[in-house]
Structure 1
């Protein structure tokens, strides 16, 4: 089960990162071109929103069943080792923050009346979330 969750978490990460990039570019183009924000635009933004939340859910499950997640944090000594600190604290904490920021961007876009503001809310908040996610990916583990 643990290995399957690891593979699922890694696989969905590719989808989530690709969806975020596509939505950021799509919303930026929509904002710069001055076109009207439509239901199609909302649904496209919702795709990255949903995939990122599924990634968070799988990650949280993995965090509590993994021997290098929450158990590493409670065992002590994780703060002195940078790799353990990344896995046990920084990766989950920053990624939760990134998903919250993405959520704020999506929810805020629904409340704004101007199309340019809707696009701007999506591309700015999604881009901040995207950068935060990239900053805390355990690249040494992910690329192997």
Structure 2
């Protein structure tokens, strides 16, 4: 189960990162071109939103079944080892924060009536979420 979840988490990461990057670019172009925000734009943002949330859910499950997740914090030595600290604390915490930022971006966009404001909410907050996620990926452990 652990190996399967690990592969799923790694594989889905490619989709989630690509979706966030594409939606960011798409929303930025939409805002700069003063295009009307359509149902298609909302659905693109929703796909990235859903993928990032599914990735978080799988990551949280993996965190509690993995010998590299929550177990490292119990031992007490994780804070002195940068790789263990990244895996046990920084990666999950920052990614939860990133998903919260992405959720705020999507939710705010739904509340605005002006197209440019909708696009702006999505591209700004999705970009912040994407940067946070990329900053805490354990590149040395990432299988793909």
So what's the TM-score if we normalise by structure 2?
A: 0.98
In the TM superposition, structure 1's runs of 4+ consecutive aligned residues that sit over 2 Å from their partners are: none
Query: For the residues of structure 2 that align with 1:76 and 1:4, how far apart are their CA atoms?
Result: 27
Partner of 2:114: 114
In the TM superposition, residue 74 of structure 1 has moved relative to its aligned partner by 1.4
Q: How many residues align?
A: 144
Structure 2, unaligned runs of 5 or more: none
| Residue 63 of structure 2 corresponds to residue 59 of structure 1 | no
Any gaps of 5 or more consecutive residues in structure 1?
A: none
2:33 counterpart residue number: 33
Give CA-to-partner distance per residue, 1:12-64, whole Å, 9 cap, x none. Answer: 00000000010000000100010111111101100000000000000000000
Q: Residue 143 of structure 1: CA displacement?
A: 5.1
Q: How far is 1:113 from its partner?
A: 1.1
Q: TM-score, normalised by structure 1?
A: 0.98
Root-mean-square deviation over aligned CA pairs:
0.8
Query: For 1:36 and 1:29, how far apart are their aligned partners in 2?
Result: 11
